[in-house]
Amino acid sequence: MSSTAITPAPVPLGRRLKRFMADRPLIPLVILLVILVVILQILRPGIVNERWIANTIKFAIPLAILAGCQTMTMLTGGIDLSVGTVATMSAFIMATQVVNQDPAVAFLLAMMPAVLIGLVNGIGVGVFRVHPLIMTLGTSLIGTGCLQVYQRTVIASGAKIPDFLAWLGTGVTYGFPNALLLFVPLAALIIFTLARTGFGRLLYAVGDNERATRLSGVQYWQVITALYITSSVLAGITGLLYIGLIKAPSLSLAEPLVLPSVAAAVIGGTSIFGGRGGYTGTIIGALILTVLTTLLTILQMPEGARRILFGLIVLFVTAAYLRIVEER
C-alpha cells in the first residue's frame, strides 16, 4: 500500500526531543525556568510574588550582561574570564573617584581600565593568537594587582556610592526595577548587533570557520580586538550597575559572577566552540541561574556545592550540545 510511503517512519521519541531542542532551544529553557519557579513555590509557599520577581530580575541583570560578554566571545570560540576583574575595577574606581571628582570624570576614569584590558586581550588573542582563556586570565591577574596598588592610594579618601547608581541598581518604579532602563536597550542592542549587523555576522563567521573567514578577506585581528574591547566595556558598565546594587565596594566585588556568567551563556545554548548561539537564550540562562541560586540558598546548600553544580552544568550541557550537533 502507498500509505507506508506517505506516513514518515516513526522517529524515536528521544531523537525527536533532541531535534526539537536543537531547533528551538528557547522552549525547553523557558520550561526549565518555570519548573524551577514552581519548585521554589512548593518549597516556600507564597515566596513567588511581585517583590520576589523584581528582586530576582534585579540580581539577574548584572549576571545577564556579563553572560552577554561570554556569549559574544564564545561565538568566536573564545571566552572572557577577565570580566569579573574589569567590573570590579570600574566599580571600585567609580566609588572612590566620585568622592573628589565630578561624576562624569569619575565615570570616564572608571571606564579607562576596561578599555585598556579589552585592548590588551584583543591584541593578545587576535594578533598573537594566545588562547583566550589564558590571555584573559593573565590580564585579570594583572588587573587585580593594579587594583591592589590603586587601593592604597585612595585608602584615605574613602568611598561612596553615587546616588544615581544606587537608584539604578536597587530602585523599583511601579514594580519594575530601574535597572531594566539600562538593560532593555542594552540587550536589544546586543541582539540587534548579533543578528542584523555586519559585525555580528563576522563574529558567527569567525567562530564557525576562522580560516574561511580570513581567506575571504576579513581582518581577523580587527574583529577580535573590537570584540574584546566591547566585552570589557560591557563588563565595566556591569560593574557600575553592580556597585549600585551591592553598595559595598570591595576588591572581589564581581569575582563571584564570573563562573555563573560562563554557565549562563552555556545553558542559554551558546556553543563554547563558537559559531552557534544567541543572546536571548543567555538572558533566560541568567534568570535560570538566579532562580537556581535562590533555590540552593533555601535548601541551605553551601557555596562549595553551588560551584560544583555550576561546573557539572557546564560540562553536561556542553556534552549534550555536542551530541545534538553530531546527530544532525
Per DSSP, the residues of 165-192 read HHHHHH-EETTEETHHHHHHHHHHHHHH
**Residue 85 CB, nearest approach to other proteins (Å):** 11
Q: How far is the CB of 207 from other proteins (least distance, A)?
A: 14
Of 274, 232, 206, the closest CA to residue 120 belongs to: 232
Decide: 70 and 265 in contact? Cβ < 8 Å: yes
> By C-beta, is 114 or 237 nearer to other proteins?
114
Give the shortest CB-317-to-other proteins separation in angstroms.
Answer: 10
* Residue whose entry in the numeric block shows the C-alpha cell 534568570: 287
The residue behind cell 567609580 is 94
Maximal CA-CA distance, the chain:
89
Closest CB to other proteins among residues 62, 124: 124
Which CB atom, from 175 or from 304, has the smaller least distance to other proteins?
A: 304
Other residues' Cβ atoms within 10 Å of the Cβ of residue 166: 16
Distance, in Å, from the CA atom of 242 to the CA atom of 265, rounded to the nearest integer, reads 19
Shortest reach from residue 222's CB to other proteins, in Å: 17
Closest approach of other proteins to the CB of residue 98, in Å? 23
Which residue, 16 or 323, is less far from other proteins as judged by CB?
A: 323
> Looking at beta carbons only, is 28 or 145 nearer to other proteins?
145
Q: How far is the CB of 40 from other proteins (least distance, A)?
A: 22
CB 301 → other proteins: shortest distance, Å?
A: 10
Nearer to other proteins, 98 or 227 (CB): 227
Residue 176, φ and ψ in degrees, nearest 5: -105, 130
Q: Tell me which residues touch other proteins (CB under 8 A).
A: 120, 124, 128-131, 133-135, 137-139, 141-142, 144-146, 148-149, 152, 259, 262, 272-273, 302-312, 314-315, 318-319, 322
Let me know: does 243 contact 249? Beta carbons within 8 Å. yes
DSSP string, 187-237: HHHHHHHHHHSHHHHHHHHHHH-HHHHHHTT--HHHHHHHHHHHHHHHHHH
Distances (CA, A) of 117 to 80, 124, 248, 320: 11, 10, 24, 33
Rank residues 107 and 321 by Cβ distance to other proteins and give the closer one.
321
Decide if 125 contacts 135 (C-beta within 8 A): yes
